[in-house]
Structure 1
Amino acid sequence: MDQPAREVYHFKDKEQSSNLLLQLNRLRQENILTDVLLCSDNTEIPCHRNVLVSSSPYFRAMFCSNFVERQQTKIDLKGITSTILSSIIDYVYTGLISISMDDVLPLMQAASMLQYGRLFEACSSFLQKQLSPDNCLSMIRLSDIMSCKSLRDKAKEIAMKSFCDVSISEDLCELSLPELMGYLEDDSLCAEEEQVFETLVAWIHHDPLSRRGAISDLFKKVRLRYIHPTYLFQFIANDPLIQSSTLCTELIESVRRLMFSVSTKCSGDIAADFKHPWVAPRRYSYHDMLVVVGGRKNNEQTSREAIVFDERSQMWQWLAKLPVRLYKASYVALHSVLYVIGGLTTNPKNSEVSRTVYTLSLKTNHWRTAEPMLEPRFAHQSISYLHFIFALGGLGPDRRLTGSVERYNSMFNLWESMAPMPEAVLHPAVAATNQRIYMFGGEDAMHNPVRMTQVYHIARNMWSKMENRTVKNVSAPAVVMDEKIYIIGGYTRRMIAYDTKANRFIKCASLRERRMHHSATVLSNKLYVTGGRYINGHDVIEDSDAFECYDPKTDTWTSKGSLPYKLFDHGSVTLTCVSQTWSKS
Structure 2
Amino acid sequence: MDTTQTLSLISKSSAIQHENQSSTTIDMLKDCSPCNNKLIKFSDKHAKFLIDNLNLLRKQKELCDVILMIGQSQIPAHRAVLSACSPYFKAMFTGELAESRKTEIIIHDIDEFAMELLIEFCYTSRIIVDEKNVQMLLPAACILQIEEVQITCCEFLQKQLDPSNCLGIRAFADTHSCRELLRIADRYAQQHFTDVKESEEFLCLPINQLIDIISSDELNMTCEEDVFNAVMQWISCDLQQRKQYLPKILEHVRFPLMNPRFLVNTVSSDPLIRSDQACRDLVDEAKDYLLLPQERLNMQGPRTRPRKPIRSGEVLFAVGGWCSGDAIASVEMFDPTTNEWRAVAPMSKRRCGVGVGVLNNLLYAVGGHDGVSYLNSVERFDPQTNQWSNDIAPTSSCRTSVGVAVLDGCLFAVGGQDGISCLNLVEKYDPSVQRWIRVASMGTKRLGVAVAVLDGYLYAIGGSDGQSPLSTVERYDAKGNKWLSVAPMNTRRKHLGCAVYNGYIYAVGGRDDAKELSTAERYNPKLNQWSPVVAMNSRRSGVGLAVVNNHLMAIGGFDGEAYLKSVELYDSESNSWKLNGGMNYRRLGGGVGVIKFQQFDSILYGSNSISNVLSTSPEDLKNRSLSTLVDL
TM-score (normalizing by structure 2): 0.47
The AA in structure 1 aligned to 2:314 is D
Identify, as 1 or 2, the structure richer in helix: 2
In structure 1, what is the Cα distance between the partners aligned to 2:143 and 2:444?
48
In structure 2, what is the Cα distance between the partners aligned to 1:289 and 1:469?
30
Describe the SS at the equivalent of 2:370.
strand
Alignment partner, residue 412 of structure 2:
390
In structure 1, what is the Cα distance between the partners aligned to 2:318 and 2:593?
7
Describe the SS at the equivalent of 1:317.
strand
1:33-74 alpha-carbon deviations (Å, 9 max, x no partner): xxxxxxxxxxxxxxxxxxxxxxxxxxxxxxxxxxxxxxxxxx
Describe the SS at the equivalent of 2:141.
helix
- The match for 1:501 among 518, 522, 526 is 526
- The match for 1:308 among 330, 333, 350 is 333
The AA in structure 1 aligned to 2:488 is N
Alignment partner, residue 403 of structure 1:
424
- The match for 2:542 among 517, 523, 526 is 517
Residues 524 and 457 (structure 1 numbering): CA distance in 2 closer, same or farther, change over 3 Å?
same
The AA in structure 2 aligned to 1:470 is N
The AA in structure 1 aligned to 2:463 is G
In structure 1, what is the Cα distance between the partners aligned to 2:485 and 2:458?
12
Q: Any conservation in 1 of the 2:556–2:563 contact (CA below 8 Å)?
A: yes
Point out where structure 2 has 5 or more consecutive residues left out of the alignment. Answer: 1-106, 115-125, 160-168, 174-184, 192-309, 511-515, 603-607, 614-632
Describe the SS at the equivalent of 1:312.
coil
Q: Any conservation in 1 of the 2:450–2:497 contact (CA below 8 Å)?
A: yes
In structure 2, what is the Cα distance between the partners aligned to 1:469 and 1:294?
28
The AA in structure 1 aligned to 2:439 is M
Alignment partner, residue 399 of structure 2:
377
Alignment partner, residue 319 of structure 2:
293
Q: Any conservation in 2 of the 1:304–1:324 contact (CA below 8 Å)?
A: yes
Q: Any conservation in 2 of the 1:519–1:531 contact (CA below 8 Å)?
A: yes
1:424-461 alpha-carbon deviations (Å, 9 max, x no partner): 01212221111111122222211x12231111112221
Alignment partner, residue 343 of structure 1:
368
Describe the SS at the equivalent of 2:384.
coil
- TM-aligned CA deviation for residue 293 of structure 1: 1.4
Q: Any conservation in 1 of the 2:495–2:542 contact (CA below 8 Å)?
A: yes
* Percent identity of equivalent pairs: 20
Residues 487 and 250 (structure 1 numbering): CA distance in 2 closer, same or farther, change over 3 Å?
same
The AA in structure 1 aligned to 2:425 is S
In structure 2, what is the Cα distance between the partners aligned to 1:379 and 1:405?
13
Residues 547 and 251 (structure 1 numbering): CA distance in 2 closer, same or farther, change over 3 Å?
same
Q: Any conservation in 2 of the 1:288–1:575 contact (CA below 8 Å)?
A: yes
Q: Any conservation in 1 of the 2:487–2:529 contact (CA below 8 Å)?
A: no
In structure 1, what is the Cα distance between the partners aligned to 2:557 and 2:549?
22
Describe the SS at the equivalent of 1:241.
helix
Q: Say yes or no: does 1:427 pair with 2:327.
A: no
- TM-aligned CA deviation for residue 545 of structure 1: 1.5
The AA in structure 1 aligned to 2:321 is G
Residues 329 and 211 (structure 1 numbering): CA distance in 2 closer, same or farther, change over 3 Å?
farther
The AA in structure 2 aligned to 1:455 is R
Alignment partner, residue 357 of structure 2:
332
Calculate the aligned-residue CA RMSD, in Å. Answer: 3.8
Q: Any conservation in 2 of the 1:429–1:473 contact (CA below 8 Å)?
A: no
In structure 1, what is the Cα distance between the partners aligned to 2:410 and 2:141?
29
The AA in structure 1 aligned to 2:485 is K
Q: Any conservation in 2 of the 1:451–1:467 contact (CA below 8 Å)?
A: no
Residues 254 and 486 (structure 1 numbering): CA distance in 2 closer, same or farther, change over 3 Å?
farther
- The match for 2:505 among 475, 485, 490 is 485
In structure 2, what is the Cα distance between the partners aligned to 1:458 and 1:401?
23
Describe the SS at the equivalent of 1:354.
strand
Q: Any conservation in 1 of the 2:322–2:328 contact (CA below 8 Å)?
A: yes
Describe the SS at the equivalent of 1:437.
strand
Residues 560 and 460 (structure 1 numbering): CA distance in 2 closer, same or farther, change over 3 Å?
same
Q: Any conservation in 1 of the 2:567–2:580 contact (CA below 8 Å)?
A: yes
Point out where structure 1 has 5 or more consecutive residues left out of the alignment. Answer: 1-208, 217-228, 260-272, 536-540
In structure 2, what is the Cα distance between the partners aligned to 1:578 and 1:375?
36
In structure 2, what is the Cα distance between the partners aligned to 1:433 and 1:364?
31
The AA in structure 2 aligned to 1:339 is Y
Alignment partner, residue 46 of structure 1:
none
Describe the SS at the equivalent of 1:444.
coil
- The match for 1:574 among 579, 587, 594 is 594
Describe the SS at the equivalent of 1:327.
coil
In structure 2, what is the Cα distance between the partners aligned to 1:319 and 1:388?
25
Residues 459 and 515 (structure 1 numbering): CA distance in 2 closer, same or farther, change over 3 Å?
same
Q: Say yes or no: does 1:323 pair with 2:348.
A: yes
The AA in structure 2 aligned to 1:296 is W
- TM-aligned CA deviation for residue 497 of structure 1: 1.2
Q: Any conservation in 2 of the 1:289–1:310 contact (CA below 8 Å)?
A: yes
Describe the SS at the equivalent of 1:459.
coil
1:111-146 alpha-carbon deviations (Å, 9 max, x no partner): xxxxxxxxxxxxxxxxxxxxxxxxxxxxxxxxxxxx
The AA in structure 1 aligned to 2:579 is S
Alignment partner, residue 179 of structure 1:
none
Alignment partner, residue 532 of structure 1:
557
- TM-aligned CA deviation for residue 390 of structure 1: 0.5
Q: Say yes or no: does 1:452 pair with 2:352.
A: no
In structure 1, what is the Cα distance between the partners aligned to 2:528 and 2:381?
36
Q: Say yes or no: does 1:558 pair with 2:584.
A: no
- TM-aligned CA deviation for residue 476 of structure 1: 0.6
Alignment partner, residue 98 of structure 2:
none
Q: Any conservation in 2 of the 1:292–1:307 contact (CA below 8 Å)?
A: yes
- The match for 1:359 among 364, 380, 386 is 380
Instruction: List aligned pairs for 1:267-286, cutoff 5 A.
Output: 283=188, 284=191, 285=310, 286=312
- TM-aligned CA deviation for residue 563 of structure 1: 1.6
Q: Say yes or no: does 1:543 pair with 2:563.
A: yes
Residues 253 and 462 (structure 1 numbering): CA distance in 2 closer, same or farther, change over 3 Å?
farther
In structure 1, what is the Cα distance between the partners aligned to 2:440 and 2:589?
27
In structure 2, what is the Cα distance between the partners aligned to 1:558 and 1:294?
24
1:149-202 alpha-carbon deviations (Å, 9 max, x no partner): xxxxxxxxxxxxxxxxxxxxxxxxxxxxxxxxxxxxxxxxxxxxxxxxxxxxxx
In structure 2, what is the Cα distance between the partners aligned to 1:366 and 1:355?
20
Q: Any conservation in 1 of the 2:567–2:582 contact (CA below 8 Å)?
A: yes
Instruction: List aligned pairs for 1:182-201, cutoff 5 A.
Output: none
Q: Any conservation in 1 of the 2:487–2:530 contact (CA below 8 Å)?
A: no
Residues 430 and 489 (structure 1 numbering): CA distance in 2 closer, same or farther, change over 3 Å?
same
Q: Any conservation in 2 of the 1:428–1:475 contact (CA below 8 Å)?
A: yes
Q: Any conservation in 2 of the 1:331–1:341 contact (CA below 8 Å)?
A: yes
Give the total of aligned pairs.
326
- TM-aligned CA deviation for residue 211 of structure 1: 11
Q: Any conservation in 1 of the 2:499–2:507 contact (CA below 8 Å)?
A: yes
- TM-aligned CA deviation for residue 388 of structure 1: 1.0
- TM-aligned CA deviation for residue 210 of structure 1: 13
In structure 2, what is the Cα distance between the partners aligned to 1:244 and 1:389?
35
- Worse overlay, 523-532 or 368-377: 368-377
The AA in structure 1 aligned to 2:396 is L
Residues 211 and 372 (structure 1 numbering): CA distance in 2 closer, same or farther, change over 3 Å?
farther
Q: Any conservation in 2 of the 1:308–1:317 contact (CA below 8 Å)?
A: yes
Residues 287 and 451 (structure 1 numbering): CA distance in 2 closer, same or farther, change over 3 Å?
closer
The AA in structure 2 aligned to 1:352 is S
In structure 2, what is the Cα distance between the partners aligned to 1:388 and 1:249?
22
